[in-house]
Structure 1
Amino acid sequence: MADTPIADPTTPGQPLAGKTVVITGASAGIGAAAAGQLAALGARIIALGRSPSKTAAVAERVGGTGVVADFARFSEVRRAAAEVTELCPRIDVLVNNAGGLFPGATTTDDGHGTTVQVNHLAPFLLTGLLMPRLVATPGSRVVITSSVANIAGRVDLADLNRYPRVLGEFHAYADSKLMNILFARELARRAASTGPTATAVHPGLINSEFGRDAWIVRNCYRRPLGLLGRATTVDNGAEPLVAVATRPDPESVNGAYLHRYRPRDRFLTPAQARDPDLARELWDLSAKLVDLPT
């Protein structure tokens, strides 16, 4: 089977006219590219990013609204969620795309590993705070940017912030990407009767600013991909996210992990990704850590 998008972002027309899309990590990379593609399909874009200048530039380019938030601070996530709620009577799509791989065993002011907080706990908190708008919007959906690196991940509920001595930053990233998949599956289960649907997506091997400060990314990811010519553009990387946001049958991928366009619930995920008890326990622990009702 060819690797073909479910919905072609270049199709004429505006299937998202009148709909609101909130996208995080929108100040650069595939987030900025997805914002542009979704706006071209008629969506009203609320772009969240850490950099005030870059976020404002993207919002202006796509005719949307920029909201600044540093996901390494829960207080900023809460402020941004309040701002988005004020701006948006409805939210049709929430794209949880913000994330990264951060060098060193750094800890946020909230007391969590930076990678785990930015990649999992902060999106979990934002989604929970925006849930009233999502539930109130018929057909709403949550799209979560995960990674094929999840296959090397392991979730330890006693230590979400584990940081092995060898390749610690990569393992922290892989763990967080596995958490993204478990989050999507448990959200799909809990919201089965009310919505939204939830889907985790690996966008591909992208030539972007991802992990620009991390030695392992520069030397073991970006340079080899550049030499082999295997990296894809940010526009191409955004297309799987746009496909999920626009597909007419989101229920068919509710709770799924997609490797770009194809469900890969077994082949490219570890056994933990298919453990419903772990997904439920991770949800409850995450809710406790970010101070949300379970």
Structure 2
Amino acid sequence: MNARWTGAEIGDQRGRTAVVTGGNTGIGFETAKLLAEHGATVLLACRDLGKAEAAAARIGAGSTVIPIRLDLASLASVREAAERIGEIHPRLDLLVNNAGMIMPPYTRTEDGFELHFGTNHLGHYALTGLLLELLLPVPGSRVVTVSSIGHRRGEMKFGDLQLEHGYKGETAYFQSKLANLMFAYELQRRLASAGAETISLAAHPGNARTDFGRNLGVFVRVAMRPGMRWFTSWLLQSPHVGALASVRAAVDPAARGGEYYGPPGRLQFTGHPERVESSARSYDTAAQRRLWEESERLTGVVYRFAEPSLRHPG
């Protein structure tokens, strides 16, 4: 794990199909671009179809990139997108749960969930469950869920998951990013228990200069300006380097289910990805199970893990 992973190790991805949520900008765009440039067919699942089409055009000729409309804040849209993906590609190698939003005023999704929790976690929980039947039959298939170093400040408020009392945008965001990790770990445990070949991993990009910071405080917005790079190189890195963590989790042959990739070091702000550890709270198996059960109840999506005997006849 000491050699720097730069992306030169990605290898030939021809014949593989990947879904990347939020692939029109930032970390998601760079993730999709790297996979497509190495031969993968990439389905860009984005809320704004026009932006997805523009992103596909930016990735360029010679790549197969297919825009898909997906609004993670709408369970109806999630179901429509999953159905559309299944029509286009009945077998998936990769699902990268990348899309996210951060710190608006208190807002609810179409289904009545607090926007961070509903978009960043519940939308991806539902999408993964609906696409699982496309992943399970494919040897080497993976689900990569993108979290954040902010998860370390997160706490699952099971008594008030929708944060109706004393709402703060940062509290909501950190809870949703902790939920991403707990979901990734619980999914891996359930896949392994079912004898599935599909694995679940997690990643985080560190701090990257993307449009994601537009809703943050003035200090962050100033720090993200191009002219400040000479001063903030220790704090912020390019979207390309930030995306390497997701891509490594998606393609590294040495990666194993349940692992978490991101910039190294104590702060994990910048750097090429390594296997890292997450917060103690994220490894709480009882809380992981409780989150799963709550997610199933709220979304109505029940995961169907195929029996090993059905995938390995004879």
TM-score (norm 2): 0.84
Partner residue, 1:232: 237
2:161 counterpart residue number: 160
**Who is 2:218 aligned against?**
219
Q: For residue 110 of structure 1, what is the aligned residue in structure 2?
A: 111
Aligned twin of 1:276: 285
Amino acid aligned to 1:222: R
Shift of 1:59: 2.4
Point out where structure 1 has 5 or more consecutive residues left out of the alignment. none
Give the structure 2 partner of residue 57 of structure 1: 54
The residue type paired with residue 51 of structure 1 is D
Q: 1:105 to 1:246 in 2, by over 3 A?
A: same
**Aligned partners of 1:176 and 1:220: how far apart in 2?**
23
1:120-159, aligned counterparts within 5 Å? 120-159=121-160
Q: Which has the larger radius of gyration?
A: 2
SS where residue 203 of structure 1 aligns?
coil
Identity %: 33
SS of equivalent residue, structure 2 residue 24: coil
Q: Deviations over 1:185-239 (max 9, x none)?
A: 0000000111321111111211111042x2xx14243324554423211111111
Q: Which amino acid aligns with 1:245?
A: A
- Contact 1:205–1:231 (CA under 8 A) maintained in structure 2: yes
1:165 shift after superposition: 4.0
Q: Is 2:258 aligned against 1:255?
A: yes
Structure 2: gaps spanning 5 or more residues: 264-272, 304-314
- For residue 36 of structure 1, the aligned residue among 33, 36, 60 is 33
What number of residue pairs does the alignment pair up? 282
> Displacement of 1:249 after TM fit?
2.3
- For residues 32 and 275 of structure 1, do their structure 2 counterparts lie closer, same or farther at Cα, with a shift above 3 Å needed? same
Partner of 1:4: 4
For the residue of structure 2 that corresponds to 1:128, the secondary structure is helix
Q: Find the residue that maps to 2:207 and give its secondary structure.
A: coil
Partners of 2:295 and 2:197 lie apart in 1 by 20
Q: Distance in 1 between matches of 2:87 and 2:274?
A: 36
Residue 296 of structure 2: aligned partner: 287
- Structure 2 letter corresponding to 1:119: N
Contact 2:100 2:119 in 1 (8 A): yes
Q: What is the alpha-carbon distance in structure 2 between the residues aligned to residue 104 and residue 78 of structure 1?
A: 27
**TM-score in terms of structure 1 length:** 0.90
- 3-state DSSP of counterpart to 2:212: coil
Report the CA distance between 1:176 and its aligned residue: 0.5
C-alpha distance in structure 2 between counterparts of 1:181 and 1:158, whole Å: 20
Provide the C-alpha distance between the structure 2 equivalents of 1:158 and 1:23, rounded to a whole number of angstroms.
Answer: 32
Instruction: Calculate the aligned-residue CA RMSD, in Å.
Output: 1.9
Q: Specify the SS of the correspondent of 1:139.
A: coil
Deviation at 1:121, TM superposition (A): 0.2
Distance 1:103 1:16 in 2: 37
Could you list the runs of 4 or more consecutive aligned residues of structure 1 that deviate by over 3 angstroms after TM superposition? 163-166, 224-228
The answer to whether the 8 A contact 2:21-2:99 is kept is yes
